[in-house]
């Protein structure tokens, strides 16, 4: 039972990451490979604030959102000028820089040692110490983010995003400042990823830089491409699938380190097969 | 002690390695017009092929290197036939090709890590007995001299082949306009297959040389790829001579950068260079 709850929490975290990334990749058509960087910023914000200053969870989440928002604003200022493969490459570059900061700014992040002893969230006197309660908290966050995303994509804002995806030149001619739209959706998506990061840090209670690599960004990308681009439900399906399948490998009895690479192998193969036979994913609306 | 001569030598050696990666990357980009993110893994494949041949099977080192280079070439060729060619036939967008290559990279890196563990290994035969040459106040090892000579010879040969032979002209025709090349009777898919073979083989050689100089590990591919890509962008993507110039420039910036900042920030420095170039000189220093 504990194990199933653990899986459910992982699913919720990756669903948050997937749904938020889908806003940028699926709806706006910008292939961002830097989501793990914002996931990491949220995680480090909560980890540092909770271990050093004993800041309450909710406030650390808010600060994480602000910091991720700030960084994504700076990155977005640069990224919004690009499209297509250059966007993918430059965003990947930002992930490498951010990872490098987590790893090498040792006086703050403790480098490869990571940060241990992160407190469980406590909100309004309720300590979310049991995994079941934590799942509830995470699920509430997911529902909130799902709702916000749903609202965004069905609003006029969302329609402009889709128009940018289909033909940026035309929508510019209609007088929309596409750079601003691209920037705004990027910042929102990054802030949502930071929430997932805060949850992750307080759930696992230990973080180190190795969670926030380019590879992690590729995993999140695999989730949304599998589920389907420009489909929020699809991202949830993708997250469910890609969390559960690697777990099956555990039952085959592979040693832990090999199981990790099997998971990576599987994600790679899924990406290749999808591109070859079903580039729009399971229930996607948009093809790269 | 004057450190500058040593920094210059280190920059040149780094530049030589990067230019090998950039050469193949640019050749492939020129012919197919997509960012082949799996290109760096070819270096890993080459390195590990030599590791198996010389250390496990006990082949002569020269034979192992030749077979290792061929092995990387064949893997690249095979990937083109299995993954990229079918995608090109479907007229997939270059974003789909990019994501597919991301999948190839993810999966191959995982396979190598499963087969050989993530341990760092060296290809050098007798550790610590290499000859060392002194150039003024700087030193250079025998392996590094070989790296320099090998890459210069290779660049010269490749330059000759591309300029003077029918094959080189065909590659140029495909790079300029694949449709027209097809119309005048060039078997473009065959040419692109060869380009994948040559490009991957050169990347394989880069991996092998690194293996002799420092060592190989499964994750080396991404870093090498990124350096090769950054060098290509500095020099102008698709321009193979520009890529070589970009490689040496990147080598210089990196090595002089860590003169004042500590060495862990090398990757971050490289990406800062990339982003500066993307912003101010997106077509490279030799803008056409």
pLDDT digits (tens, 9 = 90+) for A221-264: 888 888 888 888 888 888 888 888 877 777 777 777 787 888 88
Q: In this complex, do A275 and B103 lie within 8 Å of one another by their Cβ atoms?
A: yes
CATH number assigned to the domain covering B4-280 = 1.10.3470
* Residue B125: DSSP 8-state: S
Parallel, antiparallel or unpaired: strands A206-207 and A122-123:
unpaired
Res B76: pLDDT: 93
Q: What secondary structure, in 3-state letters, does B27-65 show?
A: HHHHHHCCCCCCHHHHHHHHHHHHHHHHHHCCCCHHHHH
Those of residues 15-54 in A touching chain B at CB distance below 8 A are 31, 33
Q: In this complex, do A276 and B100 lie within 8 Å of one another by their Cβ atoms?
A: yes
Q: Mean pLDDT: which of A49-58, B144-153, B265-274 is highest?
A: B144-153
Those of residues 22-41 in B touching chain A at CB distance below 8 A are 34-35
Residue A55 backbone phi and psi in degrees, to 5:
-75, 140
DSSP string, B172-205: HHHHH-HHHHHHTT--HHHHHHHHHHHHHHHHHH
A122: distance to nearest CA of chain B, Å?
Answer: 37
> Strand (E) positions, A163-240?
206-207
Q: In this complex, do A288 and B93 lie within 8 Å of one another by their Cβ atoms?
A: yes
Q: pLDDT tens-digit profile of B148-173?
A: 898 889 888 988 888 888 888 888 88
Distance CA A138, CA A196 (A): 8
Set of chain A residues whose Cβ sits within 8 Å of the Cβ of B262:
104
Interface with B, mutate which of A272, A277, A279 (most B CBs under 10 A): A272
A57: distance to nearest CA of chain B, Å?
Answer: 31
The answer to whether residues A207 and A201 touch, using CB atoms and an 8 Å cutoff, is: yes
Q: From A263, which residue of chain B is nearest by alpha-carbon distance?
A: B110
Cβ pairs A/B, distance under 8 A: 125
Compute the average pLDDT of residues A95-119: 85
Q: In this complex, do A271 and B102 lie within 8 Å of one another by their Cβ atoms?
A: yes
Which pLDDT band, with edges at 50, 70 and 90, does B288 fall under? low
The answer to whether residue A221 neighbours chain B at the CB level (below 8 Å) is: yes
The answer to whether residues A198 and A12 touch, using CB atoms and an 8 Å cutoff, is: no
Compute the average pLDDT of residues B266-273: 84
Distance CA B167, CA B282 (A): 30
The answer to whether residue B109 neighbours chain A at the CB level (below 8 Å) is: yes
Domain residue ranges in chain B: 4-280
Partner residue opposite A275 with nearest CB, options B96, B278, B279: B96
Partner residue opposite A268 with nearest CB, options B35, B110, B114: B110
Instruction: Determine the angle formed by the axes of helices A232-252 and A214-227, rounding to 10 degrees.
Output: 110
């Amino acid at each position: 039972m504990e194990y199933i709850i653990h899986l459910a929490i992982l699913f919720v975290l990756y669903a948050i990451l997937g749904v938020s990334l889908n806003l940028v990749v699926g709806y706006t058509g910008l292939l961002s490979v830097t989501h793990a960087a914002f996931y990491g910023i949220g995680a480090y914000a909560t980890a540092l604030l909770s271990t050093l200053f004993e800041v309450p969870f909710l406030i650390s989440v808010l600060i994480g959102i602000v910091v991720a928002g700030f960084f994504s604003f700076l990155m977005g200022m640069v990224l919004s000028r690009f499209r297509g493969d250059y966007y993918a490459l430059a965003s990947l570059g930002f992930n490498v820089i951010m990872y490098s900061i987590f790893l090498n700014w040792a006086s703050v992040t403790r480098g490869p040692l990571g940060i241990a002893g992160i407190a469980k969230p406590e909100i309004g006197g309720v300590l979310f110490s049991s995994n079941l309660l934590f799942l509830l908290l995470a699920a509430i966050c997911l529902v909130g983010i799902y709702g916000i995303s749903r609202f965004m994509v069905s609003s006029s804002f969302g329609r402009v995003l889709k128009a940018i995806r289909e033909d940026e030149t035309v929508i510019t001619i209609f007088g929309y400042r596409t750079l601003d739209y691209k920037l705004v959706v990027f910042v929102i998506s990054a802030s949502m990823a930071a929430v997932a990061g805060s949850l992750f840090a307080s759930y696992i209670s230990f973080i180190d830089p190795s969670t926030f690599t380019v590879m992690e960004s590729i995993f999140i990308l695999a989730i949304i491409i599998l589920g389907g681009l420009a489909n929020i439900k699809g991202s949830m399906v993708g997250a469910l699938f890609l969390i559960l399948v690697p777990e099956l490998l555990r039952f085959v009895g592979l040693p832990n380190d090999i199981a990790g690479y099997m998971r990576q192998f599987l994600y790679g193969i899924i990406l290749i097969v999808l591109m070859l036979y079903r580039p729009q994913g399971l229930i996607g609306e948009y093809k790269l | 002690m004057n450190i500058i001569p040593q920094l210059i030598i280190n920059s040149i050696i780094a530049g030589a390695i990067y230019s090998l990666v950039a050469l193949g990357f640019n050749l492939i980009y020129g012919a197919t017009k997509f960012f082949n993110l799996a290109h760096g893994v070819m270096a890993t494949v080459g390195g590990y092929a030599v590791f198996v041949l010389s250390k496990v099977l006990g082949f002569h080192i020269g034979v192992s290197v030749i077979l290792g280079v061929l092995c990387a070439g064949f893997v690249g060729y095979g990937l083109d036939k299995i993954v990229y060619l079918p995608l090109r036939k479907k007229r997939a967008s270059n974003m789909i090709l990019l994501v597919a290559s991301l999948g190839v990279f993810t999966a191959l890196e995982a396979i190598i890590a499963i087969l050989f563990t993530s341990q760092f290994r060296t290809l050098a035969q007798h550790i610590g007995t290499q000859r060392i040459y002194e150039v003024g106040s700087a030193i250079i090892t025998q392996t590094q001299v070989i790296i320099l000579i090998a890459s210069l010879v290779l660049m010269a040969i490749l330059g000759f082949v591309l300029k003077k032979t029918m094959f080189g002209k065909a590659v140029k025709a495909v790079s300029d306009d694949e449709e027209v090349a097809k119309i005048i009777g060039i078997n473009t898919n065959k040419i692109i297959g060869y380009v994948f073979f040559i490009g991957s083989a050169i990347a394989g050689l880069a991996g092998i040389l690194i293996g002799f100089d420092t060592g190989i590990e499964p994750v080396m591919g991404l870093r090498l790829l990124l350096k090769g890509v950054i060098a290509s962008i500095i020099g102008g993507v698709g321009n193979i001579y520009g890529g070589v110039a970009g490689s040496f420039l990147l080598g210089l910036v990196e090595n002089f950068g860590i003169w004042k900042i500590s060495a862990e920030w090398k990757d971050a420095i490289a990406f800062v260079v990339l982003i500066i170039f993307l912003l101010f000189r997106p077509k490279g220093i030799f803008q056409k």
